[in-house]
Amino acid sequence: MAQKSDNKVKKPNIFVRMGRKLKETFSELKRVTWPTFPKVVKATCVVLVVVIAFTVVATLINYGLQELLHLITGIKGIE
């Protein structure tokens, strides 16, 4: 009767597998086309402008709904 362990292909240990994965990751990172600094600055500015715009809009909607609630109920909060 043959043993089952003889027929199985042994997996490398965890450290060998982690080393291979790390090597693959670094080889992929070498092929990445990185953006130039001016493109990064431009994209960051666009993100900041959009975040500020949404913050202003959300604040205005919040203020408007709060004032509408005060108008309907007649109860003012602590000011």
Mean pLDDT of 3-23: 79
**What pLDDT score was predicted for residue 56?**
98
Q: Where is pLDDT greater, at 77 or 75?
A: 75
What is the tally of structural domains in the chain?
1
Q: Which residue type, as a one-letter code, is found at position 58?
A: A
* Domain residue limits at 63: 35-79
Q: Is the pTM of this model over 0.75?
A: no
**What pLDDT score was predicted for residue 7?**
59
CB-based contacts of 17, cutoff 8 Å, min separation 6: 11
**Does residue 26 belong to any structural domain of this protein?**
no
| Contact assessment for residue 45 and residue 39, using Cβ atoms and an 8 Å cutoff | no
pLDDT in tens, 15-60: 888 999 999 999 999 898 989 999 999 999 999 999 999 999 999 9
